[in-house]
A and B are shown apart, each in its own frame.
Chain A
Amino acid sequence: MILAALVLAILTLGPIGAVLVRAGGLGDLAPGDLQALRFTVFQATLSGLFSVALAIPVARALARQTFWGRGLLVSLMGAPFILPVIVAVMGLLAVFGRSGLVNGALDALGLPNVNIYGLHGVVLAHVFFNLPLAVRMLLQAWLAIPAERFRLASSLGLTPWGVFCTLEWPLLRRIAPGAFAVVFVICLTSFAVALTLGGGPRATTVELAIYQAMRFDFDLGRAAVLGLVQLTLGFVAGLVALKLAPAQGFGIGRGRWVARWDGRGLARVLDFFWIGLAAAFLLAPLALVVARGVPGLLEGAGEGTWRAAGHSLMVALASTTLAVLWALPLATRRGELLSIAAIAISPLVLGTGLFLLLRPFVNPFTMALPVTAVVNALMALPFMLRILRPEAEQVARDFGRLGATLRMTPWAWLRLVWLPRLRRPLGFAMGLTAALAMGDLGVIALFADPDRATLPLQIHRLMGAYRMEAAAGAALLLLMLSFGLFWLFDRGGRVHVED
């Protein structure tokens, strides 16, 4: 535990220190950096507001309507979390881009086109990623309202407005701010979305400004200041999010389902309108990625793409292994708190620091892939611990005393109790880590030369070269690899698991 915590601290604080030392102290912010800060907060606020505002009717509809495929739709709401950003961007371009479906329809109607690049594109992509998250958070809380409360409301003859005021509004007041805060924090650290759909002085996030400071100006002092700005922003917003995080409430019901009379007639029509809209918004881009990717993939993805896919697989597997080795000793409350620090630190600053630390010993560009693997493992660690910690604590509660009276050695405990009992959540957490690392377009964008590109970077390059068919094929390959890796690990954690 101490060793793992120490390595974590060195790997997070060391690179920041290296950047500061190399920069000879904090540099000055460029005039555009304040604009980047304003844009970051503004786009995160809009993304949070839109995500939560749209999630409310969708979650409400899913909570009170039953229909064929409802379970599948709710499961699919988890997919954007592991969807590579660059793939989602390709999908959104296919729907909302210059030659996308929406503009095609607008053209046919003789209406002016919409432009996906800039603030609205960034917000649109963030809503695409975070609407499902907000829906799931709200839906979970909605379904936790005991069925007895609705029965009571029914017996009291409450109108739909009365039900909203007595049961749903208190829930929203408690859950929605937390959901907004979580989405806000996620959007604060946006890089890949801003890189692909933003850019330009008016649509640059702090992360993107760090990238530009290092990639184009190699101004480490400015990058370090921006890194600290990002750290402060992330830390404060993270604390607020923790404070606002959804709390328990409503007591425990008996879990039986009571038909809700307030979801009939016009309300039912409206509910299905929202469900249909959300499903189309989430599934259409994915469907188009598949449809447009198949020809590109069948025609041959090209040697560069296959090599990049191999690199991405190696990075994903190395990140997953590293994250597991870290998570094993850190699956405690203290360890989880420590790991959250990793979220607040900019991955780009972290990557730069690691490169600077390595530079005296090796050519840092040859280390692009290992550094990407380490940074991705660090970034995935909080998610992994969030999944593992409750289960690990449960195992300790259930069997810790038995293990002690049997005088089990730590190795025997790990091998015979911990790993077998945690196989299921461990498989899920490893799947998430592998998929996130597979789709990451962060540090690698800074340092990789063409020979060491990962698949997301390769797609970005293909898009930049307007080779859209090849990019679509590579995006489909990335989609399959990300979901495939997630499925393999998650499935591996489930097979032959017995109580």
Chain B
Amino acid sequence: MDLVLQLLFTGIGIGSVYALVALGFVLIFRATNVVNFAQGEFSMVAAFFMVMFSVKLGLPYWLAFIVSLIGMGVLGAVFNLAVYYPLRHRTYLPVIISTIGASILLANATLAIHGPEPEVLSGWFDTPGFLVGPVYLDSQYLLIIAVTALLVVLQYWFFEHTLLGKKLQATSQDKEMAALLGIPVALMIMVTFVYSAVIGGLAGILVAPVLFVSIHMGATIALKAFAATIIGGFGDVTGAIIGGLALGIIETFGAAYVSVPYKDGFAFLVLVAFLVFRPQGIFGERVAEKA
């Protein structure tokens, strides 16, 4: 029983990271109808920013954190201008291919600049964690869970109760109509990319102390997060969060009770199972193209 609780905690922690990255997926998908295959690389790049500013340049942790997130915002803007925006009138296929190209570029440019050695990033708190009853609560995992919960609440408030949020929603539902109503669609898409890069980066920085910082972390996280969005129901924010948490838990228990080397395979098996039996996910929206 103690082990189960312990695993549950870890699962929710790691699942929160997937949920954060999945949120980035969902936001860009809703704004542009395109899946951004470089979403995971945002997390990886942010983690390397953090290593650069905090470990290499010796900035205080909080300052390095802020500078890294600003850097991610800039990256999101550049990404939009170079990878998505010129292709906005083409079908989804060139855009997918273009974001895949960007993902490879980001991962390998980081490798070329930094080199292949993985880095270790310390956590936010000095106290590594504490025991509550039989369960050891890792402080970084607690932080991850707290930040994710906070972001979800903030995001809900932002989309439902602010004008900018409403404009973003309008853009994602019908770009032409939004443009006719005077909403600057290009700017809204830009905001979406910047915001998605920042929360993707946030996820990367938060998870970095738990994993190693390596150029491979982006691809792994992105695949899991994508699986999470499918499990939750594509384009659904709540679904992405529940899907992410579910996946984190499944994976942690799978590694503990089934097999460690195949830990990364569970996500894909769950993904395929969902695609076959319930492609619309838990909070199913339509998946078919409109006639």
A in complex with B: no
Residues of chain A having any CB pair with chain B under 8 Å: none
